[in-house]
Amino acid sequence: MSLDTIRLSQPAKDQLIKLKRITGIKHWNVLCRWALAISLQDETPPLVRDIVTDSNIEMSWRTFAGPYGDIYMALIKFRCLRDGSEPTEDACLKTLVTHLHRGIGYLAGRRDLSSVDDLIKVALV
């Protein structure tokens, strides 16, 4: 795998479908950006587990990050270093995938999330 293509698991896809319905946000990449930011905000490393990227959702890095690719990459590299890993391409991909999945899970599990306004409130806490 490489950072050129980002793939998600089936559970993450199911959670994103729920988040799309709740927030009205139509694009996977936008929700994934929120999810990554929410997870990176948590200082603890995600539980290391194998994530089977078995859904049909995949997006290019360019689609995921949009015009903010350099910023997201800097955040991911910083997180690698902070968690004790050299920011190699493999480490960055693992960091991205684990944080992305944790963030999607965080957002989908929130009972207080019923609109895009609630999503903004979550980000401001």
**Count of CB atoms within 10 A of residue 27's CB?**
12
What is the Cα–Cα distance from 2 to 46, expressed in whole angstroms?
20
pLDDT digits (tens, 9 = 90+) for 81-99: 999 999 999 999 999 999 9
| Under 8 Å between Cβ of 102 and 39 | yes
Would you say residue 113 has pLDDT above 60?
A: yes
State the DSSP code for 47.
P
| Under 8 Å between Cβ of 101 and 8 | yes
Radius of gyration in angstroms for the set of CA atoms belonging to the chain, rounded to a whole number: 14
Statement: the pTM of the whole predicted model exceeds 0.85? yes
Would you say residue 49 has pLDDT above 90?
A: no
Average pLDDT, the chain: 92
